[in-house]
Structure 1
Amino acid sequence: MSDSLITKKAIAAALKQVCREKPFDKISIADITAVCGLNRQTFYYHFQDKYELLSWIYYNENFSKITEDITFDNWDQKILEMLQIMEKEKWFYVNTLKEQEHTFESYLFEMAKALFSEAIARLDENNHLNDMEREFDAEFYAYGICGVIVSWTQSGMRIKPEVVAEHLRSLAKDTERIGYIRSQGII
């Protein structure tokens, strides 16, 4: 592991620790560097600000892991993995999503939209939908998943990740059945 990556991980761990004590919007760079024992200059060498650090954590410690080899056939397991990662670091995600939900949501939205675009194309083998309809449908389902996960987090993750993932999988399966019925001209 490179020195730069080790430093970034130390800074990330410091932010997570400070998030247990302070709301994200009240955290300063001085708070973060005091915990990891680095100076401000080192922080700014690696990150422009705490928002870039937050984005780096979301992507490198969660989204990059779950988007690797994700398909429509295994997406529910990948969502479960993501929810479990979030639950393990509950205070960090609850705290940061309260203040910065759009950073997290934009990553999640892009991933979900790509998956649903793939699924809709697969289900619409007779090409009943035009490109605009496919895009609209994919965005609809992506926003739904994002909304559920953000709401789950902001409400304190009271429901187990396995239950949330199963509900999302069940909804997708129902949608898949409706899509198949529609593609056959039954409805």
Structure 2
Amino acid sequence: MRASATKQKIKESFIIACEQVGYRQVSIQQVAQLAQINRQTFYYHFKDKQSVLRYVYDQDALIYLHQEGLHIDNWEEQALKMLQALKRHATFYTTIIEEARDIFIADVFTLVEQHFSRLFHQVDVEGELSEKDIQFYSRFFSYGCCGILENWIRTEYQETPLEIAGQLFQLAKDVEFFCFRLYQQMKE
């Protein structure tokens, strides 16, 4: 089996194991058995179950937010793809939020904060915002996005991925619009 195929098999086995017994109860031995590999092969690819967890959500869902070309014009589409990926493995992500929330949310937060920071730098063509303001706004919106995401998972995905993505996109557009309006009023 090729290395990438083995990693994929470990990833799939890890998801199944977490859905069956929960993240805290999953052992490397269980994952290795499900993947039909030995423990040594597991450790060749991953350091521990936390590294597998990160690999799973990074490759499964967050991959859509890693793209350098992510910007305001395609943000809704990429967020939708991410949300659809999360919902495809709803039981897994519900388990992760319940048992490994801090790991997942911290990684999502870091990624989203980087994108918001880049976005604020892009829209601040006049250079009106200080770096401190950009960092604050980025953190603020990142906490909001992470809270929405966590609530969506905890409430068993009541809204569709399209509804959530649309609301996030509309929020971004509204903020952009009202900031521009405020800026115009200040210039008058």
Tell whether the structures are fold-level matches, with TM greater than 0.5.
Answer: yes
Mapped contact 1:108–1:146 kept (Cα < 8 A): yes
Alpha-carbon separation, structure 1, partners of 2:4 and 2:65: 20
Give CA-to-partner distance per residue, 1:86-141, whole Å, 9 cap, x none.
11111111111221123322332233223222332333333332110111111111
1:51 shift after superposition: 0.6
Question: Percent identity, aligned pairs only?
Answer: 27
- Tell me which residue corresponds to 2:174: 174
* 1:89 and 2:89 correspond: yes
- Tell me which residue corresponds to 2:17: 18
What is the letter of the counterpart of residue 113 of structure 1?
E
3-state SS in 1 of match to 2:157: coil
- Tell me which residue corresponds to 2:76: 76
1:14 shift after superposition: 0.6
What is the letter of the counterpart of residue 140 of structure 1?
F
Give CA-to-partner distance per residue, 1:10-64, whole Å, 9 cap, x none.
1111111112211111111121112111111111121111111011111122222
1:40-119 correspondence runs (5 A): 40-68=39-67, 69-119=69-119
1:173 shift after superposition: 1.3
Per mean C-alpha deviation after superposition, the further-off stretch among 142-151 and 80-89 is 142-151
Give CA-to-partner distance per residue, 1:57-93, whole Å, 9 cap, x none.
1112222244223112111110100000111111111
Q: How does the TM-score come out when normalised to structure 1?
A: 0.91
3-state SS in 1 of match to 2:125: coil
Mapped contact 1:80–1:165 kept (Cα < 8 A): yes
Per mean C-alpha deviation after superposition, the further-off stretch among 109-118 and 155-164 is 109-118
- Tell me which residue corresponds to 1:165: 165
3-state SS in 2 of match to 1:127: coil
3-state SS in 2 of match to 1:60: helix
Alpha-carbon separation, structure 2, partners of 1:29 and 1:142: 33
Per mean C-alpha deviation after superposition, the further-off stretch among 171-180 and 104-113 is 104-113
* 1:151 and 2:151 correspond: yes
* C-alpha RMSD of matched pairs (Å): 1.8
Q: Any unmatched runs of 5+ in structure 1?
A: none
Alpha-carbon separation, structure 1, partners of 2:107 and 2:77: 17
Give CA-to-partner distance per residue, 1:133-179, whole Å, 9 cap, x none.
11111111111111111221122212111111111111111111121
Mapped contact 2:32–2:39 kept (Cα < 8 A): yes
Mapped contact 1:126–1:183 kept (Cα < 8 A): no
- Tell me which residue corresponds to 1:9: 8
Mapped contact 1:76–1:169 kept (Cα < 8 A): yes
The count of corresponding residues between Structure 1 and Structure 2 is 186
